């Protein structure tokens, strides 16, 4: 009889150990949910952006409009610096890397224009800086810009 009691006791202990191990595995699996939270798609820069430019170099300010098209990380389009004698309307090409935007162009008078900006988390606004390289007609200029998507 005693032999049977020991075997039953060992068997019971083995079942309890197995049950605990199984519950631990199930509990860990529930905590390790492989489903990632949904990600927000990257904002599209395609469309019309309107705002202002401000010259840090000379103190001038005016309206600014971008008309942009985005394909993957590549951006193309144009900018219109209203009330700016040296930049005016300019074709642009550039790139988007996460929320960082770089746009480059050549002004109508042949100066190199570079804009560096950051897209807001909601994808509806962008702000940054610009540099208009010196040319025969205009001196080097740096400034800032801020636009919102329409």
- What is the tally of structural domains in the chain? 2
- What is the spatial distance between Cα 7 and Cα 34, in angstroms, rounded to a whole number? 42
Same structural domain for residues 24 and 69?
no
Between vectors from CA 64 to CA 60 and to CA 69, what angle results, nearest 5°?
A: 150
The alpha carbons of the chain give a radius of gyration, in whole angstroms, of: 31
Same structural domain for residues 69 and 123?
yes
Same structural domain for residues 99 and 66?
yes
- What is the spatial distance between Cα 39 and Cα 37, in angstroms, rounded to a whole number? 6
Contact (CB, 8 A) for 81 and 92: no
Same structural domain for residues 106 and 89?
yes
Task: Give the SS3 label for residue 100.
Answer: strand
Host domain of residue 142: 47-149
Same structural domain for residues 82 and 137?
yes
Same structural domain for residues 137 and 92?
yes
Sign of CA dihedral 70, 76, 77, 83: positive
Same structural domain for residues 87 and 35?
no
Tell if the pTM clears 0.75, that is, is over it.
no
One digit per residue, the tens of pLDDT, for the chain of length 150 reads: 555 554 556 666 665 655 565 555 545 454 555 565 555 566 799 999 999 999 999 999 999 999 999 999 999 999 999 999 899 999 999 999 999 999 999 999 999 999 999 999 999 999 999 999 998 889 999 999 999 999
- What is the spatial distance between Cα 4 and Cα 9, in angstroms, rounded to a whole number? 9
């Amino acid at each position: 009889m005693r032999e049977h009691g020991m075997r039953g006791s060992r068997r019971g202990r083995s079942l309890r150990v197995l049950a605990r191990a199984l519950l631990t595995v199930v509990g860990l699996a529930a905590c390790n949910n492989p489903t990632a939270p949904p990600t927000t798609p990257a904002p599209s820069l395609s469309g019309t952006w309107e705002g202002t430019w401000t010259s840090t170099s000379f103190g001038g300010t005016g309206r600014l409009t971008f008309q942009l098209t985005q394909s993957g990380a590549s951006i193309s389009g144009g900018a219109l610096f209203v009330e700016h004698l040296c930049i005016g309307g300019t074709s642009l090409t550039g790139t988007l890397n996460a929320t960082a935007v770089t746009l480059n162009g050549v002004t109508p008078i042949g100066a190199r224009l570079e804009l560096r900006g950051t897209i807001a988390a909601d994808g509806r606004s962008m702000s940054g800086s610009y540099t208009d390289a010196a040319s025969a007609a205009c001196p080097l200029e740096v400034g800032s810009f801020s636009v919102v998507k329409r």
